[in-house]
Structure 1
Amino acid sequence: MQRQGSIGGSAAFRVRVAGGVLLVAHLAFVAWFTLRPLDVPWVMPANLRPLAGVRADLALGWPEAARHISGKLALLAPLGVLLPMAGGRLAVSPLGSLLRTVAAGTLLSLGIELLQTGVPGQVVDVDSLFLNTAGVALAHLALVPAGRSRLRRRALAGPSLTPLTPDGPAQGRTPTIPRVGIAPWSDALPPSSP
């Protein structure tokens, strides 16, 4: 049974498998990078005030601020592409896809921040949550709609030339069955014996 709006055949399988493998590899890297204990002489207090960390980064000057902010934007940004890729669906609502992907990125970032409370040397920062989520949204908006459009065009230009609908490839006209009238009761009842 084919999932609604999914890519047809082996191409769908390859896209989903590649997306799944890359997603697992990226999540393993993120877990290692964000949850490993750090040996530092002192640790800053947790930042629970929104945008206070961004303002502190901007106070450091342009190159240092750009490095800190872009690092937080880029950490989970690949999820914006890998999550839809692992899903393997072409005919989906762009807004729904964006909302699902951003929600998943937000929850993952929140989970990381909560787990960092127990890791020595790691500091909880609410701005990381905002910037990680923004990175997921920007990557999704920049790459996924164009990629899906390209894949839909390739699917339409394939050997079958059947248009792709939300339910899969078009199958042609639905056959109709002529109406059957209701039989009179005299035809349906067995003959009575007098």
Structure 2
Amino acid sequence: MQRQGSGDDSVAVPLRAAGVVLLAAHLALVAWTSLRPVDVAWVSATNLRPLEGIRADFELGWWQGARRVVQDLLMLAPLGFLLPLIGGRLRASWFFSLVRCTAAGALVSMWIGLLQTYVPGQVVDIDSLLLNSLGVLLAHLAVVPWARSALRRRRAAGAQEVVPVAEEAQGPTPTIAGVGFAPWGEALRRP
């Protein structure tokens, strides 16, 4: 039985290890930027209505709203391609891979929102959760199908360069006549 992720349809171990290091660095950066206390004179209320915070930011100005949308889209977007890289499967269903990555992005975003409730000056916003999940989804769609097909083509090109050893050069496999499943089977038979 093979372990999951091993075999011909998996990414090389150094590439997966690099993905783990990059994921850890990215999550540390996300934690540092979103979970540090902020000194403000006042804090807005928690937003649990979808798209209400985005609408309020666009009312303050187009630049303010666009900056917030882009910032929230990009915050967890690297999860969209780092998680499949760590998984290492080249021949995975694109739909289930997309669902897994988006769900993982939503869970990370929910954990960040939960932890923000304990940090002074940080406020939970449902729009951030939605935009973070959408960013993971878009990054996955933009990178993973292309990267998997490129890696499969590269692996196929590498496999074609390998020259198989001809059986004629080694000779046929020797066989012994009269030897069955168990050579001592004749001795154990009862008359």
Q: Which TM-score band applies after superposition, normalised by the shorter structure? A: 0.7 to 0.9
- TM-score, normalised relative to structure 2: 0.80
- Is the Cα–Cα contact under 8 Å of residues 6 and 90 in structure 1 kept in the other structure? no
Distance, in Å, in 2 between the alignment partners of 1:7 and 1:43 is 53
Distance, in Å, in 1 between the alignment partners of 2:65 and 2:124 is 18
Given residue 140 of structure 2, which amino acid in structure 1 is its aligned partner?
H
Uncovered stretches (5+) of structure 2, i.e. residues with no partner: 163-179, 181-187
Q: What SS does the corresponding residue of 2:12 show, helix, strand or coil?
A: helix
Per-residue deviation, residues 158-183 of structure 1 (Å, max 9, x unmatched)? 04558xxxxxxxxxxxxxxxxx9xxx
In structure 2, the residue matched to 1:77 is 77
In structure 2, the residue matched to 1:31 is 31
- Is the Cα–Cα contact under 8 Å of residues 5 and 91 in structure 1 kept in the other structure? no
- Percent of aligned positions that are identical: 59
Deviation at 1:61, TM superposition (A): 2.3
Distance, in Å, in 2 between the alignment partners of 1:124 and 1:3 is 40
Distance, in Å, in 1 between the alignment partners of 2:146 and 2:10 is 21
- Is the Cα–Cα contact under 8 Å of residues 10 and 88 in structure 2 kept in the other structure? no
Alignment of 1:50-69 (within 5 A): 50-69=50-69
Q: Which runs of 4+ in 1 moved over 3 A?
A: 1-11, 159-162
Given residue 126 of structure 2, which amino acid in structure 1 is its aligned partner?
V
Distance 1:71 1:98, change over 3 A: same
Distance 1:44 1:97, change over 3 A: same
Distance, in Å, in 2 between the alignment partners of 1:101 and 1:43 is 32
In structure 1, the residue matched to 2:88 is 88
Alignment of 1:119-138 (within 5 A): 119-138=119-138
- Is the Cα–Cα contact under 8 Å of residues 34 and 112 in structure 2 kept in the other structure? yes
Query: For the aligned residues, what is the CA RMSD?
Result: 2.4
Distance 1:145 1:92, change over 3 A: same
Distance 1:9 1:131, change over 3 A: closer
Distance 1:126 1:134, change over 3 A: same
Alignment of 1:98-137 (within 5 A): 98-137=98-137
Per-residue deviation, residues 98-146 of structure 1 (Å, max 9, x unmatched)? 1111111000000000110110000110110000000000000011000
Distance, in Å, in 2 between the alignment partners of 1:7 and 1:145 is 20
Per-residue deviation, residues 54-112 of structure 1 (Å, max 9, x unmatched)? 11122122222110110011100011011111111101111111111111100000000
